[in-house]
Amino acid sequence: MLFSLLVARIRCPMYVRSVRVHETDTSLAVVTGLYSGAVTAVDLRSGTEVVCQGEHGDEVTCVDISETFIVSGSGSPTYYHRRGSDHSVRVWDSSTGQLRHTLQIHTDSVRSVRLLKNQEDETLCVSGGSDRHLALWSLSTGKLLAHHSRGPSAESIIFAIEPVPLPPNHPSRSKGCDAIRLLICYAGGIELLGVRPAGAHKGLPFVFYTIRHFFSRTELGFTGNLRCLHSGLINLQGHLVLQLAGGTSDGEIFLWREALDEGHSRQGYGERTGKGHLCVERLDEHFGSFREIPSVWADARKMFVVSRCGAFAMSKILSTESHATASSLSPLVASQTPSSSSSSSSSSSSSPSFSSSSLTGSATMSSSLSPTVTESKSRQLKSRGNDDHAKPWSLQWCWAVRGLRMYVSSITALKDSTIVSDGFDNHVCLLRPQHHRQRSQSSG
């Protein structure tokens, strides 16, 4: 069985520094943050293009989009080792591109911005970055609602923010900002935070509070700092499971699964030490020496990983019951640069363009390569117990491609698991693994 990459490409006027998608039944909006400081968006179904008015004074390091708003953060990428010259958060109208707010509180590069809604259906924005500050904003007023500082340690730099929905039985689901749960990926670890009303003596209406510490990079045994996080609630054999996936600056990845039992759901992920299973692995074999992992994405069956240099890898997540059939798969590792994705272009236009065809190119893994299987060792943290509903698993790497993109910073995914990637080749690429069986020698 062969794996191929079907590639659709959106051409942008400048290097693409960040990307995010918003998908509904009628629209598929892709927002891009550019090296030049510009922010653009395009709906791939209707063809509508939006160029946000005005630009950041530095690179756009992070973006997010909803039906109403586009939000962007600016600063310096991690590998430049310089202080950001613009560390603002900007809010735009997603239909017109008009600037609504410029939010100023960060004193260094903004690393992550995410949109979320409270139970009153008010759209909020949470931002964090290299200044170790976390901020919650009201986008209807542009006012700061809550603020938190982690202190001066380098391990307190915020690289990723993941809003997490409350379990169905949690009593705070109908209590406004009390229903907000945020997974924060610091350089040194991952924590779950909540938001609650501040006391009368406080200057802001809400405060962040720590619900739970998941684990630190030293507990994971990592040599690098944490760089990215993707989370979600998945259903495994009728049980609700919290899944966390992430990567580090040194090519290490992890996947954590924890079943939410009835009592756990009432506590909203609990203040106790969770029971679950952890899988860790290094990707040196696939990614080489330039192995920082800026972004990951995972669902119940597979995990996508990208390195800063543009190497992509996909793994099947195999439960212990699946190991007996794992040998029937033929994973491939490819080191060639697919010709359909290697070209870079520069455009003087101020808005992105895209092909009306759903797929504008393809790259097939060479069938002459020797199939290899790389399985990680599934292990648990010392403080974690067994969890019957989050059973051990392993990662089986199905393909890895080096040199597919340049300087990738972020990947995200559509509902059909198509991966959307930014890159320094002036394109947003949509990558979809597909299975192709080899024809027999007798067939014409």
Mean pLDDT (10-residue bins), the chain, 444 residues: 59 91 93 94 92 93 96 82 83 95 94 89 93 95 93 90 80 66 95 87 86 87 92 85 91 86 50 66 69 90 85 77 31 29 36 38 26 34 41 65 71 88 87 55 39
In a 13 Å sphere around the CA of 79, the CA atoms on its Cβ side amount to: 14
Q: Are 10 and 21 in contact (CB under 8 A)?
A: no
Residue 314 three-state SS: strand
Strands (DSSP E) along 237-360, which ranges?
239-248, 252-259, 277-282, 295-298, 302-306, 312-319, 332-334, 353-354
Q: Are 337 and 417 in contact (CB under 8 A)?
A: no
Domain boundaries of the chain, sorted by first residue:
2-436
Distance from C-alpha of 132 to C-alpha of 89, rounded to nearest angstrom: 15
Residue 359: the pLDDT is 28
Chain centroid to CA 178: 24
Distance from C-alpha of 383 to C-alpha of 348, rounded to nearest angstrom: 56
Q: Are strands 393-401 and 332-334 parallel, antiparallel or unpaired?
A: parallel
What is this structure's pTM?
0.81
Distance from C-alpha of 259 to C-alpha of 276, rounded to nearest angstrom: 7
Phi and psi dihedrals of 172, rounded to 5?
A: -85, 5
CATH of domain 2-436: 2.130.10.10
Sheet with strand 144-149: strands edge to edge = 110-117, 123-129, 133-138, 144-149
